[in-house]
Amino acid sequence: DEGLFNARPDLVMSGRTVFGHSPAKGQQLEDHYFGSIPERIYAFMRDFETESYKLGIPLRTRHNEVAPAQFECAPIFEEVSVAVDHNLLLMDIMDRVARRHKLRVLFHEKPFAGINGSGKHNNWSMATDTGVNLLAPGKTPKTNLMFLTFFVNIIKAVHDYSDLLRACIASAGNDHRLGANEAPPAIISVFIGQQLTRVLEGLENVSDGKLSPQEKTDLKLNVVGKIPDVLLDNTDRNRTSPFAFTGNKFEFRAVGSTANCANAMTIVNTIVAKQLKDFKAEVDALVETKGMKKDDAIFNILREYIKETKAILFEGDGYSDAWEVEAEKRGLSNFKTTPKALKAKVSKQTLAIFEEMNVMNHVEMEARYDIELEEYT
């Protein structure tokens, strides 16, 4: 409510409360999440949805969220550059329409302590120019091998560049949010579900070198061929995971609610592109130097990737203290503050990747690093 907002100088000046007392009624009963949208909020949401449709923003879903006075809307998926632009435009529309309804929208990641904060779930996948989703299993072993190839390579990219992924979500507001109340932790890990974990374990057992016809048939029928059945029932979702596979896409849940998603999506696109480039070079090398068939080379390299990336896969509770201890044993970083996390953006590895992939040069990367540090302070 605009009147209550204006009565709080801390909300007006910073977008969050900096002092106060916990309310007698919070989100303990989850009654807000399962309730219907209040009439006043419903009218506001219908209004900003109509304004969004006029500008071509394909909003589809609206519902209550867990925290009191917290709500969610979601669009139909679009190409990433268009989706990012629409997301920023939608925030402006929401702010303008809220004022017409004598309301204020709090975009801060953690406007109130003790209840859920806010974030953006970036649902990311890859598709061909003909609309084939490369992260959706097909009906034949051949199409499932294509799915597995991209699936494992994305996990490898997240494993190798996890510090960079943590850096792309770093902000002062997100530092308050990460690690509790349905927000993912500051430790980057990947959740794929128990069924797909078993599929990767089967692929890991592929013998080294050329596969016999019997081995190849067994692999395609009993590992690769069963993927559609696995995903049909793979509905379990780990809300504590920052990077989760959800059927035919990865969901990057750690992006803050005030963030420009272009930052995170640029980094995801770049590290996956770099990884796929390296993967092709490795496959070509095995085919040319060892005379392997392409399928054999792919299986061999995917097996090595699975072995190398086990540390990044985690199915448990990301909020627990035990996960912090376990992550340290696995060699995973845990940057709890933005200044430490942002250093990954100007590391030698990052600058080399962005220049190699012709995305940004070191001057542009360092300029962005300086600007983000300035915003933080």
pLDDT tens track for 9-37: 999 999 999 888 887 777 777 778 888 89
What CA–CA distance (Å, rounded) separates 49 from 60?
Answer: 9
In the chain, the N- to C-terminal Cα span, in Å, equals 30
Q: What is the pLDDT of residue 176?
A: 87
Tell which wins on pLDDT, 137 or 167.
Answer: 167
Give the predicted TM-score (pTM) of the model.
0.90
Mean pLDDT across 146-158? 93
Q: What is the pLDDT of residue 233?
A: 47
DSSP 8-state class, residue 343? G
What CA–CA distance (Å, rounded) separates 86 from 80?
Answer: 10
What CA–CA distance (Å, rounded) separates 12 from 21?
Answer: 18
Q: What is the pLDDT of residues 329-345, one digit of tens each?
A: 999 998 888 999 999 99
Cβ-Cβ contacts under 8 Å for 354 (sequence gap 6 or more): 270, 360, 361, 362, 365
Residue 243 token pair: 């990077």
